[in-house]
Amino acid sequence: MSTTPQIVVHDDKDEMARATAARLLHRIVDAQSSRGSASVVLTGGRNGNGVLAALAAAPARDAVDWTRIDLWWGDERFLPEGDPERNVTQAQQALLDSVPVDPARVHAMAASDGRYGGDVDGAAEAYAAELAAAARPEDQGPVPAFDVLLLGVGPDTHVASLFPEHPAARERERMVVGVHGAPKPPPTRISLTLPAIRSAREVWLLAAGEDKAGAAALALAGAGEVQAPAAGAYGRTRTMWLLDTAAASQLPPELRRSAS
């Protein structure tokens, strides 16, 4: 069952990044206090990396026990290890190299020159198996109940590597899929599916800039999830859209009134 989105509008993308980082640090500390560890799914792109850079710069970052957090990814570009376009490479530069994370708890998706070679479907199956191994009985599914799952929203409403009308956006059984022929380069990717995304306790969707305004308006106006995958991204207990003023500029009046 979908949760009603909470919409938070910030003045600009920098404020959105700082506020989201502060909110995420608080959520991680809460999870670690209540369950001993936390589980977060990271996203790439300009807004996702902006949040990671804000986390690295946040004075409160040391309130988190970075050794007791599992970090996953919503998607990855199927490129060689260390490629600057890979989300994990960008995350390392923005945050991970500056905090004491446990390397065993940083769950990167496979690279195209890794153990699966060019077999992106095999790499996706392996990531699904890794997720299943981390799931606990109380998670009630084949993936962990992530504390927070971050998603950047593309101008076409894509989230992770789930593009409008693409087969991956229609997947309802598998938790992770290899994406072939993506309309945005590179064409070959690995992605969580909507069922995996919806296993998270909280899903936070990030959108900043005028080029995201139409996507936010479409997804929040009740579009179908195959036509607008962002519309199908929601959490078990909370769904948050974290926008800047430009990205919120086309929201219907009834939604804009709920923004704070």
Distances (CA, A) of 188 to 10, 23, 86, 226, 240: 34, 33, 12, 19, 29
Q: CATH number of the domain that 136 lies in? A: 3.40.50.1360
34 in a structural domain: yes
15 in a structural domain: yes
Q: What is the pTM of this model?
A: 0.96
DSSP 162: B
Count up the domains in the chain and report the number.
Answer: 1
136 in a structural domain: yes
Lowest mean pLDDT among 34-48, 65-79, 228-242, 245-259: 245-259
Distances (CA, A) of 107 to 41, 48, 129, 172, 182: 10, 17, 12, 23, 23
Q: For 192-225, write each residue's pLDDT tens digit.
A: 999 999 999 999 999 999 999 999 999 999 899 9
Task: Please state, for a pLDDT cut of 90, what percent of the chain lies above it.
Answer: 93
Q: Answer left, alpha or beta for residue 121, where phi above 0 means left and psi between -120 and 50 means alpha.
A: alpha
Q: For 82-134, write each residue's pLDDT tens digit.
A: 999 999 999 999 999 999 999 999 999 999 999 999 999 999 999 999 999 99
| Confidence bin at 250 (pLDDT 50/70/90) | very high
**Average pLDDT of the chain to the nearest whole number:** 95
90 in a structural domain: yes
| Confidence bin at 81 (pLDDT 50/70/90) | very high
139 in a structural domain: yes
**How many alpha carbons fall within 13 Å on the CB side of residue 217?**
16
Instruction: Tell whether the model's pLDDT for residue 259 goes beyond 50.
Output: no
pLDDT of residue 258: 45
Range of the domain at 147: 6-256
1 in a structural domain: no
pLDDT of residue 1: 59
